[in-house]
Structure 1
Amino acid sequence: MAQIMIRLNTLSEVKEFNAAAAQIPGDVDLRSGHYCVDAKSIMGIFSLNLSRGLTVESATMTEDELRKHFAAYLAE
């Protein structure tokens, strides 16, 4: 399972991230601490603490593919 760290700082970034996640075949999870939600669910994303870094996980993509797909949201 591939993982990357991201940050979602604005409402528009959350919407854009959600749309990008919807384009990925298979499951895409978003983790914040002990909580894990479906990254394709806008309501799930908003239930997380967005002030912290988030972890994106995908079983169908490599880490490099995830980095390219979500390059705009990578945590530095």
Structure 2
Amino acid sequence: MKTVKIKFDSIEAASDFVKIVAQFKTNFDLMTERRVIDGKSILGILSLDLSRVLDLQIEEETDEIMDAIAPYVASKEASEKRA
């Protein structure tokens, strides 16, 4: 399991993110201090404060997944510290 920091700069970016992660069979959970949202749920993501950096927990990390979500990763250094 890997955790990375994710940041969306628009609603369209969040929508594109959902389309990307929906292609993979593994689980993606977006987390705030109080909530855990399915990363494949656009309605769940839109219920979050998109101006904040979110934690994305990936159940089974692969290079393919990391390449696909790279445009949304907020800080590689921050995510490596949490892994």
Q: TM-score range by the shorter chain?
A: 0.7 to 0.9
**Structure 1 counterpart of 2:17, which letter?**
F
Q: Could you list the runs of 5+ residues in structure 1 that have no partner in the other structure?
A: none
- Number of residues paired by the alignment? 75
Stretches of 4+ moved more than 6 A in 1? none
Q: TM-score, normalised by structure 2?
A: 0.79
Q: Percent identity?
A: 33
**Structure 2 counterpart of 1:58, which letter?**
I
Q: Could you list the runs of 5+ residues in structure 2 that have no partner in the other structure?
A: 76-83
1:58 positional shift = 1.3
Work out the CA distance in 2 between the residues paired with 1:61 and 1:17: 16
More helix as a share of residues: 2
Q: Is the 8 A contact 2:11 2:46 kept in 1?
A: no
Q: Who wins on radius of gyration, i.e. which is larger?
A: 2
> RMSD of aligned C-alpha atoms?
1.5
